Amino acid sequence: MSILYSLNNLPQGGIAYIEKIVANPIFGEQDQVVSRRLADLGFSPYIPIKIIAKGWLGRGPYVVQLNHHTQFSLRRAEAEKIVCTLHHT
């Protein structure tokens, strides 16, 4: 059984696989738009994601590497929408 984590709770340097994009009430009526935008950028199930860097006290922004190539910076609220399973080596 895999444990699910919000992206913002992964350790720096940790590699995970995206499971799903979930709602975050902070976005209100725009939540579906934000979810669609993340999906359009490539944040999709089974894609590997790595935390490259975290902001001060680990509270964001978060620099992530998606699919071993593209890097993005995400706000905390966006990172909370991305649910992952941690890859154990």
pLDDT per residue over 55-65, tens digit each? 888 777 999 99
Domains of the chain (ranges; CATH) run 4-86 (2.30.30.90)
Residue whose tokens read 């579906």 = 32
Confidence of residue 1 (pLDDT cuts 50, 70, 90): low
pLDDT per residue over 26-57, tens digit each? 999 999 999 999 999 999 999 999 999 998 88
What pLDDT does residue 89 have? 59
Whether 24 contacts 77, CB under 8 Å: yes
